[in-house]
Amino acid sequence: MNPKIGVVSVGDELLEGMILDRNSNYVARELTKIGCEIIRVVQVRDKIEEIAEVVSDLLKISNILIISGGLGPTEDDLTREGVAKALRRKLVMDEKILAKLEEKLKDHGLLCLENVKKQAEIIEGAEILENTVGTAPGQFVKHEGKMIFILPGPPVELIPMFERYVLPRVEEMIHEKYTTRIYRFIGIKEATLEEKLKDFLYSDGRIKVSTMIDTYVGPTIRLTVRNEEIWRLERMEKMIKERVGEYLYNVGDKRIDELMVERMLKEGITISIAESCTGGLVASTLVNFPGVSKIFKGGVIVYSNESKAEVLGVDRKTLEKFGAVSERTAMEMASNVREKFKSEIGIGVTGIAGPTGGTSEKPIGLVFFAIDREGQVQTRRERFHGDRNTIRMRAVYSVFDLLRKVL
């Protein structure tokens, strides 16, 4: 049996709905990957009694607890006290940590106030987990055969500490090692995918199958199998590739935008973009990736007919005859932006994102794409469903799918 995990996030701001609990989500995902069972995730307020109650309850049903938040210097930070109470242990001042804290603060020209000293308090018998980013150290306690990790709440502090201290120690507890692979699809609906695979996808009881949607991109399938039986996974992977390989853009963690940017960077292929309904979203998705300035030459957002003609040089006759939302306009946008920015690839996107502006002939969600690679032009017509933002985001990923076809 692999370990059962309880995850606890501490903080009034969570219970008041002021921030999303991204820590639990991260911890749960990473521990699931290595074969743990996450049996409960709990958010609890900054109250000693309540923290102690949750910790005691979860210790009854899990082998390992991951607790985050409430380790700071303010009066509201009571995780240390709550966990100590649950374990019936004392808090002791750690002189080494105190000295370090005082030094850190002095570097910033600050005095070490009473409440800051709280961060040097350690649950009796706990091991100190060093925090290289912030001031509050984490703690690790073994208690009646169970493991308890206490980590700071800010994700920039929690993530490196989780990777350094939690993952390796939990991994040691995993008796059955598992392999997980994620299959990422684009251009196919989840129902269609399921239909095409249903006769074998759930046929092997030794493989755990989860399907989900990567919002705006497409369906994903996650297969998990014990390492000794990886041949089962590979047998299934072969069948998946045979049946729906053309929609499978990656086996792994990376999404299509990251993959395509990597490919263009590697091959030094330059690109420019002319956007209408996506209004800069394709460009800003590209610019998310560092180093992209080597290949991204620039873009134009031509939101009106006037700017399509005047700024980008789309033929007024094209706009009159076919309309701004048409294959021909997309083609001219792609070719003209490519010429303007002197890039190898030019892309044009024009469509109707809604919520108004649709007609029976050109409904909301209709988007035309064109890609011009050194004079060779390909086009695509899509009809997306959903609200304004969904339509725009789907259009963005469709651009990357189009790139996949020409790269």
Of 120, 283, 367, 399, the one binding a second copy by CB under 8 A: 283
Closest to 343 (Cα-Cα) out of 318, 372, 368: 372
Question: Can you read off the two tokens belonging to residue 264?
Answer: 């263009």
Q: Residue 144, by phi and psi: left (phi above 0), alpha (psi -120 to 50) or beta? A: left
| Contact range with a second copy by CB under 8 A, out of 88-96, 170-178, 295-303, 313-321 | 295-303
**Cα–Cα dist 220/251, whole Å:** 10
CA distance 392 to 125: 54
Q: Scan residues 100-139 and list those touching a second copy (CB under 8 A).
A: none
Give the range of 166-174, 235-243, 302-310, 372-380 binding a second copy by CB under 8 A: 302-310
Interacting residues with a second copy between 14 and 43 (CB under 8 A):
14-22, 24-32, 38-43
Q: Which of 66, 86, 151, 286 forms a contact with a second copy (CB under 8 A)? A: 286
**Cα–Cα distance for residue pair 126/214, rounded to 1 Å:** 40
The gap between the terminal CA atoms of the chain, to the nearest Å, is 45
Q: Which stretch binds a second copy (CB under 8 A): 90-98, 143-151, 351-359, 370-378?
A: 351-359
Q: Does residue 388 interact with a second copy by CB under 8 A?
A: yes
Applying CB under 8 A, does 322 fall inside the site for a second copy?
A: no
Strands 37-44 and 4-10, by their bridges, are parallel
Please name the helix (run of DSSP H) or strand (run of DSSP E) that holds residue 180, with its range, or none.
strand 178-185
For a second copy, the binding residue among 328, 340, 380, 394 (CB under 8 A) is 340
**C-alpha distances in angstroms, 156 versus 9, 117, 138, 162?**
15, 22, 13, 10
Instruction: Answer yes or no whether residue 392 interacts with a second copy by CB under 8 A.
Output: yes
Listed in order, strand segments (DSSP E) in 11-113 are 37-44, 64-68, 91-93
Burial 90-122 (b: 16+ CB within 10 A, else e): ebeebeebbebbbeeeeeeeeebeeebebbbbb
Q: Which is nearer to a second copy, 227 or 304 (CB)?
A: 304
Residue 201 · residue 237 · CB < 8 Å: no
Contact present, 21 and 43 (Cβ < 8 Å): yes
Residues between 50 and 79 that touch a second copy (CB under 8 A): 50, 54, 57
Closest contact distance (angstroms) between CB of 228 and a second copy is 22
Q: Which of residues 169-228 bind a second copy (CB under 8 A)?
A: 210, 212, 222
- CA 213 → CA 184, 220, 222, distances in Å? 9, 6, 11
Which residue among 79, 119, 278, 335 contacts a second copy (CB under 8 A)? 278
Does 351 contact a second copy by CB under 8 A?
no
User: Is 307 among the residues that bind a second copy (CB under 8 A)?
Assistant: yes
Over the Cα atoms of the chain, what is R_g?
27
> Considering the complex, what minimum distance in angstroms separates the CB of residue 270 from a second copy?
10
Kindly state the smallest distance separating residue 95's Cβ from a second copy, in Å: 29
**Which residue in the set 299, 346, 351, 365 belongs to the binding site for a second copy (CB under 8 A)?**
299
Segment near a second copy (CB under 8 A); pick from 67-75, 167-175, 237-245, 292-300? 292-300
Residues of span 258-277 touching a second copy by CB under 8 A? 273, 275, 277
- Nearer of residues 124 and 306 to a second copy, judged by Cβ: 306
The residue range among 89-97, 100-108, 235-243, 354-362 that interacts with a second copy, by the rule CB under 8 A, is 354-362
